Structure 1
C-alpha cells in the first residue's frame, strides 16, 4: 500500500481545519506552516522512497531545505512531546493508513476514520483490561 502525498496533504489540512490549497500556497502563518511541516514529516517517515526534493515538488514546489526544516521541526516537537505532538502524529499516521486502505468518499473520510480509530481504541482498552485480569489471576 502506497500512501500518496495528496492524501498526506489532505489529512494534515483536515487535522488543522485548513483547505489543502493553503498548505501548497505561499502562506506563512503559524497554523498553516505547522500543518505543512506535519505533512512534510509524515511524507518523510511514511514514504522512504521519496527524496526531500521529490516531497517538496509534491507539496507545492517547496525546496528540499524547506522540507528538511519542517521535518526537523516536527521531529523535535515529537521528541519533546510539545503540545501532545507525539500523540497527534500517531493519530495522523493511523488516519493515513486507514484512509489508504479504505475506499471512502472524501467528504466522509474524517468521520469514517474517527469512527475506526475510536473502535480500535475501545478494543485496545478491552484487551488491556483482560490482560490485567489475567495478570492478577482473575
Structure 2
C-alpha cells in the first residue's frame, strides 16, 4: 500500500503546485495561512495541519480537477449541474461550505473512488499531503 500510495500522493502534490502557480491569489492565501499557523518556517505537524482550513480545500480542489482514480472521474467532477458554470476552474473556495467529503458517498466527488473498491490509503494520502505541502 505504501508504494502504490506514494506515487498518487506525489502526483497530488505536483498538480496542487501546478494549479497554485496558475492561480497566484490562491497561492498567496495558502502561504498566508501556513505562515499564520507555523510562522517559524519549519516542519508542520498533523495537529498544525488540522488548523489549516484553506490547505484542506486546496487539496480537495486539486483532487477534483486532475483526479487520481482510473475511471472517468474527470467528467463526473466537472459537471456544470453539480459544480456550477465555473466547473473547469480551480477555485478551492467552493469547498469551504461544501458537505462533500473524500469518501465518494454521493457520487459527485470521488477522487479516491467509492464503495468497497475505494482507495484503502485515503487517510495516509491526505495526512501526507497535509504535512508535506506546507513545507514546500
- Indicate whether the TM-score tops 0.5: no
Higher relative contact order (CA closer than 8 Å, sequence separation 6+): 2
Task: Give the structure-2-normalised TM-score.
Answer: 0.28
Normalized per residue, the structure richer in helix is 1
* Structure whose alpha-carbon radius of gyration is higher: 1
